[in-house]
Structure 1
Amino acid sequence: MGCFYVQVEQRKNPELRGLPMAVVQYNSWQGGRLIAVSYEAQRCGVKHSMRGAESKQVCPQIQLVQVPVARGKADLNSYWSAGSEVSSVVSILSRKGRCERASIDEVYLDLTDAAETMLAEAPPERLEAIEEEALKSHVLGLDNEDRSEAKENVRRLLCKSNADRRDKLLACGALIVAELGLLVLKETEFTCSAGIAHNKMLAKLASGMNKPAQQTVVPLSSVKGLLESLPIRKMKQLGGELGSSLQSDLGVNTVGDLLQFSEEKLQEHYGINTGGISGEEVEGRLLPKSYGPGKTFPGPQALKTISSLSSALT
């Protein structure tokens, strides 16, 4: 569920939909810190690291919505209430498979059984019609330069009778996820993007490729091309110290570089657990593992002494 705070504000004020906008923190210094940026604003060059005043310079037409204030502090109740509605989203998704809630607005869904059932009982190639939402899917490796033929290309791929069985399961997954996305929109007014692949890592990567409210499918034939030039730091758990170590110690900058090393060689450097191959499955968990509160003290409000920190905490 992309730009969650933005979606909450757009649901309250539908006129903001489709416009470049951002939600800013209640502190008004330099226009407030951006805590959520719409995709329209991102395409104009607005970044989460900016403050409101800077975002106006980059995108003069941006709409800035301030976090509500109660008793002189940020009032996040509307966002928390909306966040609790994500539980209903998880409930919708869990109708089709095992759900693992990874954060307030991110869920992994294991569709193996549902896809197997569809493939056995109503495979895509036997369907009289494919839902429009599924035909909007982005399929990695599919040449869709001619947008007028894009949906027909997707239809042919999803309904390919002689496809590899694993890709047929992905096609079933695409149909199921398209249906679920429409249900989420109908019941919550929130949109979500999805990545459909054979493991969590690939699904996570694909989910961010086409936003907002779109889904991306990763066929087996496209995996190598996707990973070959992918910066190592875009991989889950490789954005921090481990990623830095791979770059400095082994000269690894892309996943393609990493794949040149054997599992044994990686274990020599990083141990059996870290240097091994992950077969992580989707866990049945409906609540995120943890919540992380944070606060930024910019400019003249920056915390420089122990006493100022103590005052802020009290």
Structure 2
Amino acid sequence: MDAFYASVEQRDFPEYRGKPLVVGGLPEGRGGVVATASYEARKFGIRSAMPSRQALKLCPHAIFVRPRFAAYKEVSQKIREIFSRYTDLIEPLSLDEAYLDVTNDKLNIGSAIDIAQQIKQAIKDELNLTASAGVSVNKFVAKIASDIKKPDGLTFIGPSSIEAFMENLPVEKFYGVGRVTAEKMRKQGLFTGADLKKLSEDAMIAQFGKAGAFYYRIVRGIDDRQVQPHRETKSIGAEDTFAYDLTSLEEMNAELDKIAKTVHDRLLRYQLKGRTITLKIKYSDFRQITRSQSLPSCIDDLDIILITSKNLLAATDIENSKIRLLGITVSNFSPAENRKKPKNDQLSLFGY
């Protein structure tokens, strides 16, 4: 989806349309971070994960709003319903992305490009939102293609064009190559796919670890990963970044009450029970720690989740601490054969 959160806000609230809109933490006080920025805001250099204070400096007249996750989730469900008209092979990636395998074409349209165009048009007609699609023979190339002509783009990269396309691609555009890795590559004189292609697989692994083998293949357009519509859920959790630093145990426990309730509700919804409870703590200086405890048996009990989380918190050195984020995760689920099918939909939200 194109600037998903911001686009939904601009659709639902006409006063935001055509204006630089930032969805995320508000810049007042300590401030939070940008979740999504409208394309009008991006013209000023505002990007996701940027501190809201910095975004405000870049664009003093930007509008800041907090996310409405229930609204985004509802839209995502409707997008998923549109996808399912064309294929049953849908793999959610994140809140606003998914892979679709249209090899088995439910409507017998006969062209992946036509299917992508029809899906884009349905999203626009029915939801008044725009999506960008990438069409190719594998996941990696399709993902990169989807980012080329945003917003409202459609890019096809056919088999005969893949190698040339990958050779000309800057290393920072490779999906899975983060900022740190891209900088490391550039320092070694590796600026494009063509530069990466000069290295042997052993050299790639020596320099970039296990990811090196992946880079070696994808720079050649090789990606045999299947679209997985039913990926197994490994953990369920929730976390919250606070508008101000928490300094007392009473404040922290009150926040854990809310977070544990969210985790509990999700466990019940997906009919999952787990043995391991993990507490995540991020301090005001951005130092982060996690503490875990494994239980004798799998549970989905709110009281146990809450008591365990509070005990883990109390066992840390919280005196004179300033905490900006707390999170709780339940993992180590019961064997898959003993689980029931999740209600409604997968935990991951989705887009296009």
**Which of the five TM-score ranges fits, normalised by the shorter chain?**
0.5 to 0.7
AA paired with 1:303? S
Looking at structure 2, the residues matched to 230 and 211 of structure 1 have their Cα atoms a distance apart, in angstroms, of 17
- Residue by residue over 1:177-212, the C-alpha shift from the partner in whole angstroms, topping out at 9 and shown as x without a partner, is 111112123333332111111111111111112222
Match of 2:78 among 88, 96, 107: 88
Q: 1:268 to 1:50 in 2, by over 3 A?
A: closer
Structure-2 change in CA distance of 1:214 and 1:300 (3 Å): same
| One-letter amino acid of the structure 1 residue matched with residue 80 of structure 2 | V
**C-alpha distance after superposition, 1:28-51 (max 9, x if no partner):** 137764322111221233333555
Paired with 2:8 and 2:119, the residues of 1 have a C-alpha distance of 20
Matched, 1:215 2:154: yes
1:205 aligns with 2:186: no
Q: Which residue number in structure 1 is paired with residue 19 of structure 2?
A: 19
SS at match of 1:41: helix
Say which SS state the counterpart of residue 46 (structure 1) adopts: coil
2:42, 2:324 → 1: CA distance? 36
Aligned partner of 2:95 in structure 1 is 104
Structure 2: which 5+ runs fail to align?
A: 218-222, 247-282, 286-316, 328-352
**5+ unaligned residues in a row in structure 1: which ranges?**
68-75, 120-171
Query: CA shift at 1:238, angstroms?
Result: 2.6
Q: Which residue of 237, 256, 273 corresponds with 2:176?
A: 237
Equivalent positions of 1:154-169 (< 5 A) are none
Residue 194 (1) aligns with residue 133 (2):
yes
In structure 1, the residue matched to 2:198 is: 260
1:275 and 2:220 correspond: no
Q: Distance in 2 between matches of 1:311 and 1:257?
A: 42
With over 3 angstroms needed to count, the CA separation of the structure-2 counterparts of 1:303 and 1:283, relative to structure 1, is same
Give 1:99 deviation, angstroms: 0.6
Equivalenced residue count is 251
Seen in structure 2, the aligned counterparts of structure 1 residues 210 and 289 have a Cα distance that, compared at 3 Å, is: farther
SS of residue matched to 2:64: strand
Paired position in structure 2 for 1:130 = none
Q: Pairwise mapping of residues 1-314 of structure 1 onto structure 2 (< 5 A)?
A: 1-26=1-26, 28-29=28-29, 33-48=33-48, 50-52=50-52, 54-62=54-62, 64-67=63-66, 78-97=68-87, 98-114=89-105, 117-119=108-110, 172-239=111-178, 251-263=189-201, 266=204, 275=213, 277=217, 278-285=223-230, 303-304=284-285, 306-307=318-319, 308-309=321-322, 313=326
**Deviations 1:102-153 (CA, angstroms, capped at 9, x unpaired):** 111111011223299444xxxxxxxxxxxxxxxxxxxxxxxxxxxxxxxxxx
CA shift in 2, pair 1:38/1:215, >3 Å? same
Is the CA contact 1:37–1:47 (under 8 Å) kept in the aligned structure 2?
yes
RMSD of aligned alpha carbons: 3.8
Contact 2:133 / 2:146 at 8 angstroms: preserved in 1? yes
In 2, are the aligned partners of 1:103 and 1:289 still within 8 Å (CA)? no
Q: 1:233 to 1:51 in 2, by over 3 A?
A: closer
Against the structure 1 CA distance between its residues 46 and 85, is the aligned structure 2 distance closer, same or farther, given a 3 Å change threshold?
A: closer
Instruction: Give, in whole Å, the separation in 2 of the partners of 1:272 and 1:54.
Output: 35
The structure with more helix, counted as a fraction of residues: 1
Q: Does the C-alpha gap of structure 1 residues 226 and 100 become closer, same or farther in structure 2, counting only changes over 3 Å?
A: same
The 1:288/1:239 distance shift into structure 2, 3 A limit, reads: farther
CA contact (8 A) 1:101 1:287 kept: no
Secondary structure of residue in 1 paired with 2:82: helix
**Could you tell me how far 1:96 is from its partner in structure 2?**
1.5
* 1:2–1:192 contact (8 Å) kept in structure 2: yes
Write the deviation string for residues 73-93 of structure 1: whole angstroms up to 9, x where unpaired.
xxx5x3234224312212211
1:225 is displaced (CA, Å) by: 3.7
Q: Which residue of 1 aligns with 2:291?
A: none
Residue aligned with 1:107, SS? strand
After superposition, the Cα gap between the structure-2 partners of 1:211 and 1:261, relative to the gap in structure 1 and judged at 3 Å, is same
Match of 1:164 in 2: none
For residues 105 and 53 of structure 1, the distance between their equivalents in structure 2, rounded to whole angstroms, comes to: 25
CA contact (8 A) 1:102 1:288 kept: no
Q: In the TM superposition, what is the alpha-carbon distance from 1:255 to its structure 2 partner?
A: 1.7
Secondary structure of residue in 1 paired with 2:104? helix
Task: Sort the Cα spacing of 1:290 and 1:215 in 2 relative to 1 into closer, same or farther, 3 A.
Answer: farther
Shift of 1:287: 9.0
